[in-house]
Amino acid sequence: MVNLDVYKRSLAERVSLNSQILKNKYWYLPVDDKGHLEFSPVGRSVKTSDWCSKFRGLSVCKDKDAHKGHFLNGVDCTNKFVSRIHHFWCKKSSCPVCFIRGWAVRGAKYLVGRLDKASKEFGSIEHVVCSVPKCDYDLPYKVMRNKAVEILKSRGVFGGSPIFHGYRVDDKRGVLVWSPHFHVLGFVEGGYKCWSCKRKNNCLKGCGGFDDRSYNDGFLKDGYIVKVLPKRKTVFGTAWYQLHHATIKVGIERFHVFTWFGVCAYRNFKRSDVASEVPCPVCDGAMVKAVYVGKRRIVKDLGDEAYVPFFVDDEFDEDGHPNFVDSIGSRVE
């Protein structure tokens, strides 16, 4: 028997574990879960371990010359080292501590690794949303997902990864209400060209474009709304955002929030390994694992960014000792 009480923790309890949830109402609004108790937004169960979010180490870019004249989070990086602070994050989407900066980041890296490789063969990566009509709100999840995939294929979305969202924000009532839909990162047959169409907001019936097919040949027949959304700054940012707003099925240890279909399915497309480390956000150079042993204080987290410019001008302190010691050991993520 699944203990649903752990998914009904008070806001105060969840804030005590992760104050970041107050930055987005989707993370803290209560769920109007009438008839759908088996589902929950990510990050609403219990903390997985005492290690969650504990400091783990640093990655540092020491190429100060390449940082000259560049700014990061409003800080001038001239003559400064740039570091990334690492923490211990668990792999559970339900963990209220790790779901934003741990589980969602890891999942976004994996999504980008496969999609970037696929894009070399299948074209531009599009952000598509597939909204389920009310008549199908109560379908079993697997049936709903499979039907959504077939709907996507019928519209010309021939491969990608659907990310399940079971809820939307009801601003009037101040709750999350059941409204299942799938955000998809994937590929559109022939590419999406309707943005440049002069009749974008008044689609010409029979033109054969994506919007025409989606509405006239699709929505009017099956009730599913399928739209291509504007591009965000990065595919990683889109994947990360959609993951930390996703929905899981309670009681299933390995519920797959995102899956693959079409040309991106596992049987059709081999995965791409993704390096755990990312380049310096200032100069794109390599970052090395290090321990800071200097005497001067450094800048802590600025906003939501994991990258932090150090207020240290030299590699050595006034006594001639190194401020950073390279560390060799376990992989840092």
- What's the pLDDT at 221? 87
Judge if 83 and 218 occupy the same domain: no
Does some domain include residue 295?
Answer: yes
Judge if 65 and 203 occupy the same domain: no
- Taking CA atoms, 258 is separated from 166, 183, 261, in Å, by 13, 9, 10
Judge if 79 and 136 occupy the same domain: no
DSSP state for residue 135 in the 8-state scheme? G
pTM, 2 dp: 0.79
Does some domain include residue 109?
Answer: yes
Judge if 174 and 292 occupy the same domain: no
Identity of the residue numbered 71: F
Q: How many domains does the chain have?
A: 2
Which residues, in sequence order, are bridge partners of residue 127? Answer: 185, 229
The domain boundary, picked from 228, 259, 290, lies at 259
The domain boundary, picked from 226, 259, 292, lies at 259
Does some domain include residue 293?
Answer: yes
DSSP state for residue 99 in the 8-state scheme? I
Judge if 105 and 66 occupy the same domain: no
Does some domain include residue 214?
Answer: yes
- Taking CA atoms, 27 is separated from 18, 268, 320, in Å, by 11, 36, 48
- What's the pLDDT at 26? 94
Judge if 164 and 78 occupy the same domain: no
The domain boundary, picked from 259, 288, 316, lies at 259
Judge if 107 and 203 occupy the same domain: yes
Judge if 156 and 241 occupy the same domain: yes
Judge if 75 and 119 occupy the same domain: no
Three-state SS letters, 188-246: ECCCCCHHHCCCCCCCCCCCCCHHHHHHHHHHHHHCCEEEEECCCCCHHHHHHHHHCCC
pLDDT string in tens for the chain (333-residue length): 445 555 566 788 888 888 989 999 999 999 987 789 899 999 999 899 999 988 777 788 888 889 899 887 777 888 888 877 778 899 899 999 999 989 998 999 899 989 998 999 999 999 999 999 999 999 999 999 999 999 999 999 999 999 999 999 999 999 999 999 999 999 999 888 777 776 666 676 767 778 888 887 778 888 999 999 988 888 999 999 999 999 999 888 778 999 999 999 988 877 655 555 567 888 888 888 877 666 655 554 444 444 455 545 556 666 666 666 665 543 334
Residue-range definition of the domain harbouring residue 79: 55-87+276-326
Judge if 213 and 114 occupy the same domain: yes
Does some domain include residue 34?
Answer: no
Q: Which of 33, 99, 37 is nearest to 251 (CA)?
A: 37
How far is C-alpha 273 from the chain's CA centre? 18
Does some domain include residue 8?
Answer: no
Judge if 310 and 235 occupy the same domain: no
Does some domain include residue 242?
Answer: yes
Does some domain include residue 193?
Answer: yes
- What's the pLDDT at 225? 93
Judge if 102 and 201 occupy the same domain: yes
- What's the pLDDT at 330? 37
| CA–CA distance, 80 with 300 (Å, rounded to integer) | 14
